[in-house]
Structure 1
Amino acid sequence: MQRLWVTGYRSYELNAFGDTDPKIQVIKYALKNYFINLLENQQLDWIITGANLGVEQWASEAALELRENYPVSIAIMIPYEEFANRWNEKNQAKFLKLKQQVDFFASTSNKPYTSPLQLRNYQNFMLLHTDRALMIYDEEHVGKPKYDYQLIKQHQETASYQLDLLDFYDLQDAAEEYQTKKGLEKYSE
């Protein structure tokens, strides 16, 4: 069984808001291409991600779209109970919808947020229950994902664990490919 941890930037770190933001469409396109490559090579059974607004939720959405054509299971893990309670109503509704659509949902702590230790326990859980990771992260543009990146790099010192990065150059290539594809689809109509 191949289990992939997907994480990366929060939406505000990419200045990407609203479901129709072109940046989000490009990121989901890049994620789908990565997932499809693994699925078609029988290297992926589970896509496991968090529920943060941004790459994690977009990864769940992209995986749900692929599930119609590929045998993949999707899990969302959260680091503590009441994870989305401080979000606005729209974001909470989106979170609840994703929670209902995925194959598995759980929290690594049975309490609301009390300490940073819950976040560290979540990271360790994700490392120990996945075989590899995909991050949308650029080492030249640090942000919240740097903590996951640093932990994965540290874990790689003692364990065989693959980390793939999609950086801003990769996203630029995906944007150009996405625009070309959309242009060809429009032209062929």
Structure 2
Amino acid sequence: MKTLLVTGYRAHELGIFDSKHQAIPYIRKALAARLIPLVEDGLEWVITPGQYGVDLWACEVVQELKREYPGLKLGIITAHTGQEDKWKEEKQNEYRRIIAGADYFGAVSNMPYDGPWQFRARDELLFRKSDGILLFYDEEAAEGSPKYIRERALKLHAESDYGFYQIHAEEIQNIADEENRYDYT
């Protein structure tokens, strides 16, 4: 696998409304734990839609991993330009910092939001450009935005050798429990 699409829930779908939320480090650790073996097996690119949430946390993880794995590259491919325009200033600044560290940044549509077709076109491109997906999605939680990506990824996985990796909430909870157990001993 050379290129992996990484995506999942938006921050608000997880009840996360600021960058200091206690769950973010655990989500990032789960992402890193899944990415490192793939990088060591030859993964070259991580691509993401760059939405605020799992996408951007994955970008931060990749940027950290690039210190140890300098051959790893990060691509952010958005549906349209200005996706961050309505975000709070803190989130916009965080986003701009992250995209500045990407090896590739672009939008499928070089115009502001015009309709759902831009998201369909983005997703189609991301699937076409990737060999597999790492998705944070939990069937037992609220469905949220990753539901449609998951359906498409599972279909590709069943029809071809498209890789499918999924992170569940339980995995993140286990990381949190493990760390908290050591904090109290």
TM-score greater than 0.5 by the shorter chain: yes
Residues 115-159 of structure 1: CA distance to partner in whole angstroms, max 9, x if unpaired? 111110111000000000000101222111111111212333433
The answer for the alignment partner of 2:149 in structure 1 is 148
Does 1:92 pair with 2:92? yes
Report if the CA contact (8 A) 1:26-1:178 is conserved: no
Question: 2: distance between equivalents of 1:27 and 1:167?
Answer: 10
Question: 2: distance between equivalents of 1:60 and 1:180?
Answer: 28
Does 1:159 pair with 2:160? yes
Aligned length: 183
TM (norm. structure 2) is: 0.92
Task: Classify 1:67/1:174 alpha carbon distance in 2 versus 1 (closer, same or farther; 3 Å).
Answer: same
The answer for the alignment partner of 1:65 in structure 2 is 64
Question: 1: distance between equivalents of 2:177 and 2:46?
Answer: 26
Aligned to 2:75, the other structure's residue is in SS state strand
Q: What stretches of structure 1 move > 6 A for 4+ residues in a row?
A: none
More moved, 119-128 vs 86-95 = 86-95
Query: RMSD between aligned alpha carbons?
Result: 1.7
Which runs of structure 2 are paired with 1:6-25 in the superposition (5 Å)? 6-25=6-25
Task: Classify 1:160/1:41 alpha carbon distance in 2 versus 1 (closer, same or farther; 3 Å).
Answer: closer
| Structure 2 alignment gaps of length 5 or more | none
Aligned to 1:108, the other structure's residue is in SS state strand
Identity %: 31
- Amino acid in structure 2 at the alignment position of 1:69: E
| Structure 1 alignment gaps of length 5 or more | none
Report if the CA contact (8 A) 1:45-1:72 is conserved: yes
Residues 77-112 of structure 1: CA distance to partner in whole angstroms, max 9, x if unpaired? 100111111111111111111111111101111221
Aligned to 2:138, the other structure's residue is in SS state coil
TM (norm. structure 1) is: 0.90
